[in-house]
């Protein structure tokens, strides 16, 4: 086993790669495939309509893998928020020992999970938020650069800076998230001080990802310029695939005279985005994708992908080592 990082040791995985907890994507089929391949698969709690549905999905995943897997609990602003405590209790009841948290005011959920000796990975887009999470007792920080899909934060700091700031400022171990698709990226993240990487968009484009083939093929055909930043006006900036409806939403956002979120709400409906993944019309609704789409050129199995990443990372690290140890010719 070539990798021995704080992440692999704490989670019991062989490749320091975590699958992002993606809405409408993080089902048992994908999570089990990632875990079986040596990474950490993640079920997305809020993809399940109720805590009891999450319980069924956890049990389904257990039937598909004997390896460790996690559950993502993302706390989002809502008029009627889900019962996050009930989702957390199901995680505890089912003996899941790793949880990825994200979003607003995660303190009560993290406290509940920590009392059950759960290992917490918490996603942050700024060093300030990371320091707040450290005070809550999280075990790993997932440092999310501006390149990422979904909620990018409002500071626009890319991973090259953000990871180095994390290395300078944080004593809690961290993983790198946003912009990763290959072993060279893993090697770079390790060199910058991370203990592993989190990949979302790259895992969407695998055989086992439970989304329509049209979406996967759209990712393969796209380049790094084909994403759109929407909802910046309301300080809820989200990186989406730059399809027709995302561009329409952006136009409404810029031209709206009222500035009311209701003007854009029909365009950014999560239900319509869910339909894209089911029916394959990539322009029917908005869906998240990171700038990393420019690095994705095939649709492998999770096992093939992680084997490739492991090989590439080892080769990249060996190359770096050889550059350091190479004999420098003396001057004549």
pLDDT tens sequence across 53-70 = 999 999 999 999 999 999
100 near 200, Cβ under 8 Å?
no
As a whole-number percent, the residues of the chain with pLDDT over 90 amount to 91
Tokens of 269: 């409906």
Average pLDDT in the 196-225 region? 98
| Dist CA 118 CA 255 (whole Å) | 46
As a whole-number percent, the residues of the chain with pLDDT over 70 amount to 97
- What domains does the chain contain, in order, with CATH numbers? 4-209 (3.20.20.70)
Average pLDDT in the 76-81 region? 84
CB burial of 192-218 (b: ≥16 within 10 Å; e: otherwise) equals bbbbbbbbbbbbbbbbbbebbeebbeb
pLDDT of residue 325: 64
Q: Is the pLDDT of residue 295 over 90?
A: yes
Tens digit of each residue's pLDDT (9 = 90 or more) over 126-155: 999 999 999 999 999 999 999 999 999 999
pLDDT of residue 78: 81
| Dist CA 141 CA 49 (whole Å) | 27
How are beta strands 17-19 and 227-230 bridged, if at all? unpaired
Q: In what order do the strands lie in the sheet with 69-75?
A: 17-19, 197-199, 174-177, 140-144, 119-124, 98-103, 69-75, 41-44
CB burial of 306-317 (b: ≥16 within 10 Å; e: otherwise) equals bbebbebbeebb
How are beta strands 197-199 and 119-124 bridged, if at all? unpaired
Q: Is the pLDDT of residue 17 over 80?
A: yes
Tell me which of 5-14, 250-259, 294-303, 308-317 is least confident.
250-259
Q: Reduced to 3 states, what is the DSSP secondary structure of residue 267? A: helix
295 near 178, Cβ under 8 Å?
no
Average pLDDT in the 251-277 region? 92
Average pLDDT in the 247-270 region? 92
Q: Name the burial class of residue 263, with classes exposed (0-12), middle (13-18) and buried (19+) by CB atoms within 10 angstroms of its CB.
A: middle
Average pLDDT in the 292-320 region? 97
pLDDT of residue 331: 59
| Dist CA 314 CA 229 (whole Å) | 34
DSSP for residue 195: S
- Global model pTM greater than 0.85: yes
Element of type H or E holding 75 = strand 69-75
Taking CA atoms, 132 is separated from 138, 232, 256, in Å, by: 10, 24, 35
Task: For residue 327, name the pLDDT band (cuts at 50, 70, 90).
Answer: low
Average pLDDT in the 260-264 region? 91
Comparison of pLDDT for 326 and 252, the residue scoring more: 252
Q: Is the pLDDT of residue 77 over 90?
A: no
Average pLDDT in the 106-118 region? 97
Average pLDDT in the 296-300 region? 98
Q: Which long-range contacts (CB under 8 A, 24 or more apart) does 96-100 make?
A: 96/58, 96/69, 96/70, 96/71, 97/68, 98/11, 98/40, 98/68, 98/69, 98/70, 98/71, 99/70, 99/71, 99/72, 99/73, 100/18, 100/21, 100/42, 100/70, 100/71, 100/72, 100/73, 100/142
Rounded mean pLDDT of the chain?
95
User: Could you identify the residue written with the tokens 């626009």?
Assistant: 156
pLDDT of residue 248: 96
pLDDT of residue 241: 98
């Amino acid at each position: 086993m070539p990798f021995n990082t704080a992440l692999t040791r704490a989670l019991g995985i062989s490749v320091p790669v975590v699958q992002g907890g993606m809405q409408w994507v993080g089902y048992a089929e994908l999570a089990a495939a990632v875990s079986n391949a040596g990474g950490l698969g993640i079920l997305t709690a809020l993809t399940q309509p109720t805590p009891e549905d999450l319980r069924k999905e956890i049990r389904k995943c257990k039937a598909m893998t004997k390896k460790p897997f996690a559950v993502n609990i993302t706390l989002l602003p809502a008029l009627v928020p889900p019962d996050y405590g009930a989702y957390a209790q199901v995680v505890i009841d089912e003996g899941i020992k790793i949880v990825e948290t994200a979003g607003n005011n995660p303190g009560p959920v993290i406290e509940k999970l920590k009392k059950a000796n759960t290992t917490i990975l918490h996603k942050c887009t700024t060093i300030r938020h990371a320091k707040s999470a450290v005070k809550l007792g999280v075990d790993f920080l997932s440092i999310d650069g501006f390149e990422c899909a979904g909620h990018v934060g409002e500071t626009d700091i890319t991973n090259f800076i953000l990871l180095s700031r994390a290395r300078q400022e944080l004593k809690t171990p961290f993983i790198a998230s946003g912009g990763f698709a290959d072993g060279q990226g893993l090697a770079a993240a390790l060199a910058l001080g991370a203990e592993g990487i989190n990949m979302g968009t790259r895992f969407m484009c695998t055989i086992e990802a439970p989304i329509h083939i049209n979406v996967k093929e759209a990712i393969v055909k796209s380049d790094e310029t084909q994403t759109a930043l929407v909802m910046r006006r309301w300080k809820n900036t989200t990186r989406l695939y730059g399809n027709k409806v995302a561009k329409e939403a952006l136009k409404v956002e810029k031209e709206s005279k009222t500035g009311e979120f209701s003007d854009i709400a029909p365009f950014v409906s999560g239900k319509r985005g869910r339909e894209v993944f089911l029916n394959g019309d990539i322009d029917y609704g908005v869906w998240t994708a990171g700038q990393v789409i420019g690095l994705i050129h095939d649709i492998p199995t999770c096992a093939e992908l992680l084997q490739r990443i492991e090989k590439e990372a080892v080769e990249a690290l060996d190359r770096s080592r050889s550059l350091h140890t190479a004999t420098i010719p003396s001057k004549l």
